[in-house]
Amino acid sequence: MAKDFLKEIVDERTRRNPEFPSLVAEADARRKLARKLTALRDKKSLSQTVVAARMGTSASVVSKLEAGGDVKVSTLQRYCLAIGERFRVAI
């Protein structure tokens, strides 16, 4: 049977930091949100440069957001406004 190296890495990191699985889950949630936002931007045929200009920021900030980076809620709000979407939070 082949080794599951990812499981081994997660297990080893979890031994060192018991909160590691929740950190991974948070990063995964950010990546999923980023993919949805990127799809919305693409559907509207907007480039990262155009969105950045509408936000009053640089294209690198938009790129970071769309890569699942840890950004402020205010940045997400400005991004949604720039692509013509409403920002909503559900808990």
The domains of the chain, with CATH numbers, are 5-82 (1.10.260.40)
pLDDT at 1: 54
d(CA 66, CA 34): 5
Q: What is the pTM of this model?
A: 0.80
pLDDT at 5: 86
In terms of Cα–Cα distance, which of 40, 39, 41 is closest to 51? 41
Q: Average pLDDT by consecutive 10-residue portion of the chain (91 residues)?
A: 79 94 92 96 97 97 94 95 94 85
Cα 31–chain centre separation: 4
pLDDT at 33: 93
pLDDT at 2: 61
Cβ–Cβ under 8 Å, residues 66 and 39: no
d(CA 5, CA 8): 5
